[in-house]
Amino acid sequence: MSNIKSVNNINITDEDAYAEELYNDLILSCSKHVKVKDIKLIRKAFDLAKESHKGVKRRSGEPYILHPIAVAKIVTSEIGLGATSIACALLHDVVEDTEYSIEDIDHFFGEKIASIIDGLTKISGVFDKHSSLQAENFRKMLLTLSDDVRVILIKLADRLHNMRTLASMPPNKQLKIAGETIYLYAPLAHRLGLYAIKSELEDLSLKYRHPEIFDELVTKIEDNEKKRQLEINRFSLPIIEKIEKSNIEFDINGRPKSIFSIWNKMQNKNIPFEEVYDLIAIRIIFKALNRETEKAQCWQIYSLITDIYTPKPDRIRDWISSPKANGYEALHTTVMGPNGKWVEIQIRSERMDAIAERGFAAHWKYKGEKTSERELDKWIKKIREMLENPNSDALEFLDEFKMNLFSSEIMVFTPKGDLKTLPKYCTALDFAYEIHSEIGNKAIGAKINHKLVALNHVLRSGDQVEIITSNKQKIQNEWLHQVRTAKAKTSITDAIKAETKDRIKKGKSFLETKLKELKVHPSSRVFRKILPEYEVISKDELYSKIGSGIIKLDNLKKILKKNTKNKLIRYWGLQISKSTSSGKSKKSTEASKKESKFSYKNPLIIKEITENESHNLNMAKCCNPIPGDNVIGYKNPKEDFIIIHKAKCPTAIRLMSSEGNYIVPAKWTSQKFLSSLAKLTLNGIDRIAIASDITNVISNELTVNIRKIFIETHDGIFEGEIELYVHNVSDLNNLIMNISKIKGVDSVKRNEEIVK
């Protein structure tokens, strides 16, 4: 055990006095969640944290102890956790940053708190040289989740405070942390039902990834605040009068859409701020008579509202009959308001609202919630399944985790009517493995709503699925490309490995029997003759092909008698080549280790370049950035060039999260002479001369060179693609605006896939 300091009778300095003031505020804020006897535990944790971080400053210049106090306050005030979690929040950096060990924490506070702190402590040991430190930290944190969900909740509070104080970090660190937040932590908060925290993390990430866009949206929202409030009041008044007459105790408020969700809608629909119609959502929170009447009261309020406003039939979301996997319950509808705009309304009981705001943490308050506990158990079970796969590296694990647990969900039914929740875009084969690995291994087809389909058929919510099996079915490698869930991929991989192992065993036995018949002892000399003749490079490959019947061994006696000198030279030449390649890889790895120490504190300036000068800059093929786009750079650790991505590119966001140390802030200078290739997709109502009008606007009015134009018409509708040369994104946006004004054109969008 390390040298344990006394945590009592600490001398108070001015900084200590300020920390004491914040501590007292923390105790006041947690009075609803903790008992008087628990204050002693919180005080003990505070004293140890204050002493261990004494003299340490954050980058902002503030005493470090202010950070754990702030995290503890988020844990209690914004998530609603109790004394154990508050103590862990105060101690969360002690083991990582000071001389105290997990054993010390165990000695002072017991096994439970030590276990949670261990989950929160970053790994500083050795990992696989190709893995990401952030990915390994995240994986370890999830390992502890299967024992105590509070690890994740405290980690989210820690991340939220770091994002709130991110301004003091250099630009490259801001990009890295903001990218990691939008890639992992915001979706994780959403998955746990922490919507307020999720929205703030998204907004703060946008603030540092796209500061100009963020500031512009904040200004526009503030400018519209008074008008929006008048619209809320005008819309809500008839609803208030109607519900009050029904003697229902309720509260109504207008919830503004988050900045990130507004920006996201603008991106997805390619529309300006002014065309985002649902900037607000009305939330009605009522006091239920009892637990049994909640659902009926939701529909009663829905009925009262639709007596006033016309509902949009395809926008009813019944999350009270089938709650989301994270426990979220509410009834959503969209109605036509008095000003001709659609307005979303959310109807919840007080219990539902507590769960919606605080997620799984609120479920502990309602211990009778069997459904919620069952869904939490299912979620943790899925995490365990992913963690138990020893073969995936950290980055592969991150992708699997994000894909399976952060994606939208669908609900499908078994033939007996049992409900199964799966990620969106899952296939019938995913469903088969969700039922049982043996069902998946033997699946040959499926019936969706009584109609026969292939195993790669993509499921939709509400489908009833029946899996058809056969004992003669064999696992196929192609199946790995037909499934989406980690459970299915792991099961298929395990089955393939087991089958391969069985083939190797069978093939080895068969070869040894054949050699014995020929009175030949299996030796390295024998295998040097056999392997090249059968065009394999290892004994296992030979055994596997013999075991599967690909290699028959009918000519084995003839092969053993042949002079194979020439083939041996060619064969071992291949091996030498591979060995040399391996040597280069090792050298490259050493170089990448040195390269990984680089750091760009100031933005990389992307100037006008000619083809001869552009050897150290590559434009990413996944998003095709052009001058004027908001961009970041990725310094490939194994190469001497930087890849430029659009900052909103999914690949860039993933790289910011998993390989943040290689991210380079970047921006364009003015681009006057060179042109970049861009692609537009457009559609609209067909009419005579529509193609001529489009080309005239592009070539004559805007003097832009067209590389290729393709327009196809069918059933009175036209669809087309145009490839053209532009100087920068401003010119491209101007072009899109002018084309969209042409009569008959309905939609013009930039296609960001690379143009070759």
* Cα distance between residue 514 and residue 554, in whole Å: 10
Distance between CA atoms of residues 70 and 84, nearest Å: 16
SS3 track for 270-289: CCCHHHCCCCEEEEEEECCC
Which of 630, 639, 715 is closest to 668 using CA atoms? Answer: 630
**Residue-wise over 598-619: b if at least 16 C-beta within 10 A, else e?**
eebeebbebeeeeeeeeeebbb
The H helix count followed by the E strand count for the chain is 30, 19
CB of 68 closer than 8 Å to CB of 92: yes
The set of long-range contacts for 465-472, using a CB threshold of 8 Å and a minimum separation of 24, is: 465/412, 465/413, 465/414, 465/415, 465/428, 465/431, 466/414, 466/415, 467/428, 467/431, 467/432, 467/435, 467/439, 467/443, 468/443, 468/444, 469/439, 469/442, 469/443, 469/444, 470/442, 470/444, 471/442
How many other CB atoms are found less than 10 A from the CB of residue 16? 17
Q: How many CB atoms lie within 10 A of CB 674?
A: 13
How does DSSP classify residue 727? S
**DSSP states of 156-173:** HHHHHHHHHTGGGS-HHH
97 is catalytic: yes
Among 21, 25, 96, 215, the active-site one is: 96
Strands 631-635 and 642-646, by their bridges, are: antiparallel
> How far from chain centre, in Å, is Cα 400?
9
Where would I find the beta strands (DSSP E) of 305-449? 317-318, 331-336, 342-349, 409-413, 419-423, 443-448
Residue in the block written with tokens 């075991």: 547
From residue 445, alpha-carbon distances to 341, 427, 458, 466, 488 in Å are: 46, 11, 13, 9, 16
Question: Diameter of the chain by CA atoms?
Answer: 101
The token pair that represents 81 in the structure block: 């956790």
Distance (Å, whole) CA 116 – CA 87: 10
Distance CA 209, CA 187 (A): 17
Distance set, CA 343 to CA 55, 221, 260, 309 (Å): 53, 17, 19, 10
CB-based burial, 180-193: b 16+ in 10 Å, e otherwise: bbbbbbbbbbbbbb
Catalytic residue among 97, 106, 494, 693: 97
**What is the spatial distance between Cα 537 and Cα 534, in angstroms, rounded to a whole number?**
9
Contact of 86 with 76, CB cutoff 8 Å:
yes
Per the structure block, which two tokens stand in for 518? 């020929």
Residues 6+ away with beta carbon under 8 Å from 376: 149, 327, 360, 363
Q: What are phi and psi of 278, to 5 degrees?
A: -95, 60
- Per the CB < 8 A criterion, the answer to whether 423 and 438 are in contact is no
Rounded Cα distance between 561 and 459, Å, is 58
Determine contact, residues 442/495, Cβ cutoff 8 Å. no
List C-alpha distances in Å: 31 to 28, 44, 83. Answer: 5, 17, 10
96 is catalytic: yes
Q: Give the residue numbers marked as catalytic.
A: 96-97
